[in-house]
A and B are shown apart, each in its own frame.
Chain A
Amino acid sequence: ETGVTQTPRHLVMGMTNKKSLKCEQHLGHNAMYWYKQSAKKPLELMFVYNFKEQTENNSVPSRFSPECPNSSHLFLHLHTLQPEDSALYLCASSPERGRGDTQYFGPGTRLTVL
């Protein structure tokens, strides 16, 4: 048990659908992250939240919209995605951004866009 949970574990959606990914951490951390993992590519950091404030957006298209209502929950809202957005989306948390803290990862959501 890593302390970071993600739902759903698998998601298939059409390009016109709207869906959301959920991440919850039970570690008392203050920083949360969304990563995208595509085949044969390095992990790509998408968004960072520190104490509920978004501190990083790494040129992510606006069809991905994060939300962090509190330090324990992180959402990724998806709309009008493209097939190339199919990937494993990983959530992570750490005690605080910017202090050399280790990030702990959830199991990921495997997203397929048709």
Chain B
Amino acid sequence: GEDVEQSLFLSVREGDSSVINCTYTDSSSTYLYWYKQEPGAGLQLLTYIFSNMDMKQDQRLTVLLNKKDKHLSLRIADTQTGDSAIYFCADHSGGYQKVTFGTGTKLQVIP
């Protein structure tokens, strides 16, 4: 089956940029998503990118997609304490049309 992998933990200082990385194995991905989960809450869709795009920017968020290497990243500029959460990468398979989630990366922002 498809795999989506992320590192488990990232710590950054407030005001710095955060970069969360994700790799996936599915060669028929159509969409790739980033979700945010704050403590005690469900998943919140942050942004997504179509597989034929290389980059998408949305305010402080920049998504980069390297389809050849099957690598996705989420950059958060000027990271704030409110950005502390778990970030999930998810891959939407075009073949079977299902969403596969990574394990999540816990982002800790140090004031």
Contacts and interface: CB of A to CB of B under 8 A. Distances in A.
Interface residues of A, number: 22
Contact of B103 (A41, A99, A100): A41
B97 A6 contact: no
Interface of A, helix, strand, loop or mixed by DSSP: loop
Interface stretch (B13-21, B39-47, B55-63, B70-78): B39-47
B97 A98 contact: yes
Interface string B90-104: 001010011111111
Interface string B1-40: 0001000100000000000000000000011010100001
A94 to B, nearest CB: 9
Given A40-B103, A43-B88, A99-B97, A104 B31 contact: no
A108 B101 CA distance: 16
A90 B92 CA distance: 18
16 contacts: A2-B42, A2-B44, A6-B42, A40-B103, A42-B4, A42-B100, A42-B101, A42-B104, A43-B88, A90-B43, A100-B31, A102-B31, A105-B42, A105-B43, A108-B41, A108-B42
A45 B91 CA distance: 13
A2 B41 CA distance: 11
A6 B30 CA distance: 29
Interface of B, helix, strand, loop or mixed by DSSP: strand
A20 interface: no
A66 interface: no
Contact of B44 (A42, A98, A100, A105): A105
B40 to A, nearest CB: 8
Interface in A56-114: 90, 92, 97-100, 102-108, 110
